[in-house]
Structure 1
Amino acid sequence: MDSREICTDRRLADFLVAYLGAWPDGEGLTVVGSPERTRPGWDGTVRDVVGVATPRGGVLSVPPALADAVRAEVHGWDEVPAKLPNLLGRPGAPVFSGVFRWTMEPADLPDAGEWVPALDPRVPPWLHPFGGDVLIAFDEDGRYAAGVGIKRHNSAGLEISVGTEEAHRGKGLATALVAQAARWIVASGTVPIYLHDPANIASDRTARSAGFPDLGWRIIGVGTPR
């Protein structure tokens, strides 16, 4: 393993420890009670369950008060959908699994956008909650065509979210913007993260083309009962 790979592992581990409460170097599912599950996240929402599953194992992060009960009942990822909602007091709540991607080698594509304040009048409302600066591609008339917001989970890792106006889809804007944002994140010394629904083919294509491989990692969460 060269120094770059060691640095990559350290950065990713730093993000996961801050995000989940721990990141053991071992196999199997580890349940962690973390105060982060009781605090507002990047958008002010409290997410009381966050799991990151890998082909080797991973971490299921829950509020500290529930950790012992979850450890006693949930021994593998396949048991999460049937047991975890009841332990949370939300029987029937859906358990979702998304694709978790990260990279330290984003694609070297031409820049497609410029960083502007999230509340710039040219920026659409969906990007306002991200705060700070957002990465925007404008069309030839100076109107919004596509954009990236950054979910600032913690100082070690930043998650990329991208959207493209329908009239500008199919031009590679999303891919170029994601790669550009990821290069900026890497240059800042943090890890770029990209999450998406497994059924979202367009997001899968964008991620792969921007340099985010699918390594079999998944993000796990629990919603509210329908």
Structure 2
Amino acid sequence: MLDRRLFLHLATWLGQWPAAPGLHVVRSHRRARPAWDGRLRPALAVGAPGRTVLSVPPDRVDAVRALVRSRSVEELLPSLPTAVGAPEFTTHAGLFRWSTAPARLPDVGEWISPTSSGLPPWLRLFDREVLVVRDADGRYLAGVGIKRHDAYGHELAVGTVAAARGRGLARRLVAQAARRVLDEGAVPTYLHNVDNHASARVAEAAGFPDRGWTSFGVFPY
């Protein structure tokens, strides 16, 4: 049975869930409004095995539905930015994971303000505390930010500097952040490109299994 928090997250985030078999284009005013980082996400899809919901702005539904009728997802992606009125944007396709039972890995990071000194630019996009590991001299090694898409689903983003990879920091940070998300009453999600094998290993080790779910969309560079 699908976790209720995940069901509510997908219904809120996309505008509809679940769907009958096939690819379904639905309208959502959220696609015409800034997302967690203040930038637009004019097309967003999540797919369970055999069924996918593609969420687009209300005024773009007809154009995207016409595009979908004759194309697979792979064929659709190159034309999708123009169809949703954002030809300058790029596309993303990957795996969609979630967890209600993060791995029991020891905590490794501390929660600090995203405006703290020494953090990479991507962590500064977040408006609440981020989870960070520093070395003995205070230099940043790895961190996690939480994209609070709605009250029910919070997506985790993790990054590790090259010199600190292979130590298991990312998986411990993801598991630690996932426990916080669950404590807040939401379900933690984790998205990554299909060919990002390092990210896949982090997800698996942190307790985010591959259930065959996917995601794709249109994003700003």
Structure 1-normalised TM-score? 0.87
In terms of mean alpha carbon deviation, does 179-188 or 133-142 score higher?
133-142
Which of 8, 31, 34 does residue 14 from structure 1 map onto? 8
| Within-5 A mapping of 1:116-135 | 116-135=112-131
> Could you say which residue in structure 2 is the equivalent of 1:177?
173
CA distance in 2 between partners of 1:138 and 1:23 (Å): 40
Residue 33 in 1 paired to residue 21 in 2?
no
SS in 1 for 2:149: strand
Which of 168, 172, 176 does residue 164 from structure 2 map onto? 168
Runs (4 or more) in structure 1 with deviation over 6 Å come to 90-93
What root-mean-square deviation, in Å, do the aligned CA atoms of Structure 1 and Structure 2 show?
2.3
- Measured after TM superposition, the shift of residue 77 of structure 1 is 4.4
Equivalent pair of 1:29/1:59 in contact (CA under 8 Å): yes
| Within-5 A mapping of 1:57-136 | 57-75=51-69, 77-78=72-73, 80-81=76-77, 84-85=80-81, 87-88=83-84, 95-136=91-132
Which of 147, 152, 165 does residue 143 from structure 2 map onto? 147
> Could you say which residue in structure 1 is the equivalent of 2:47?
53
Long gaps (5+) in structure 1:
none
Structure 2-normalised TM-score? 0.89
Paired residues in the alignment total 219
In terms of mean alpha carbon deviation, does 110-119 or 65-74 score higher?
65-74
Equivalent pair of 1:98/1:195 in contact (CA under 8 Å): yes
In terms of mean alpha carbon deviation, does 208-217 or 22-31 score higher?
22-31
In terms of mean alpha carbon deviation, does 50-59 or 81-90 score higher?
81-90
> Could you say which residue in structure 1 is the equivalent of 2:155?
159
CA distance in 1 between partners of 2:90 and 2:35 (Å): 20
- Measured after TM superposition, the shift of residue 98 of structure 1 is 1.3
Equivalent pair of 1:74/1:83 in contact (CA under 8 Å): no
Long gaps (5+) in structure 2:
none
- Measured after TM superposition, the shift of residue 91 of structure 1 is 7.1
Cα distance per residue 1:169-211 (max 9 Å; x no partner): 1100001000000011112110101111111111011010000
The one-letter code matched in structure 2 to 1:27 is P
Equivalent pair of 1:74/1:84 in contact (CA under 8 Å): no
Equivalent pair of 1:29/1:77 in contact (CA under 8 Å): no
Residues 91/135 of structure 1: CA separation in 2 closer, same or farther (3 Å cut)? closer
Residues 10/103 of structure 1: CA separation in 2 closer, same or farther (3 Å cut)? same
